[in-house]
Amino acid sequence: MSQPRDYRLHEGTVIDHLPVGSAARALELLGLPREGSITVGINVPSPSQGQKDIVRVEGLFLEKHESDRLALLGEHITVSIVRDGAVAEKTVLDVPDRLLGILACRNPTCITNEEQVQTVFLKQGGFPYHFRCAYCERVSATEA
Ligand SMILES: [Zn+2]
């Protein structure tokens, strides 16, 4: 009998330090599952956070627009890129002060909903993040 394979990745991405309860939202944002195997840890003990969620996806490498969306789920979310079974690159996701084309404005008469204009939102304060539309000034919560 061989040992069962553990959940370590060969080539893929680990999304770590997700706030508890946000793993499902992270999967949804990324349109997962796609093809590769995925392991999801929920309420995993964390020395720095108490508990956290973690998602490991074989064969997935995030596009910028995907990591930009993930960053909105919490503070200090880390993304590790695994190549050949080892962490090749680790970054802490950062939320920019200006979000371009990521959020949709909830104001139905905003120009961004009436014309083909890229949305621009300005970050207001810290987590949980709120953003002000640069065109109509309406403030949207990211989870709305
Ligand atoms: Zn607007």
The closest alpha carbon to 110, from 74, 140, 69, belongs to: 140
Q: What is the CATH number of the domain that holds 17?
A: 3.30.70.140
Asked whether residue 7 is domain-assigned, the answer is no
pTM score = 0.84
Asked whether residue 4 is domain-assigned, the answer is no
Q: Ligand 1 centre and the CA of 139: distance in Å?
A: 8
Q: Ligand 1 centre and the CA of 104: distance in Å?
A: 8
Q: Based on the domain organization, do 68 and 118 belong to the same domain?
A: no
Q: Based on the domain organization, do 58 and 18 belong to the same domain?
A: yes
Average pLDDT of span 96-116: 91
Q: Is the pLDDT of residue 96 over 70?
A: yes
CA distance 39 to 53: 11
Give the CA-trace dihedral at 8, 11, 16, 22, to 10 degrees.
Answer: -100
For the segment 72-89, what is each residue's pLDDT rounded down to a tens digit? 999 989 999 999 999 999
Which pLDDT belongs to residue 15? 97
- Domain with 126, as residue range(s), is 98-141
Q: Ligand 1 centre and the CA of 93: distance in Å?
A: 25
Question: What distance, in Å, lies between the first and last C-alpha atoms of the chain?
Answer: 50
Which pLDDT belongs to residue 102? 86
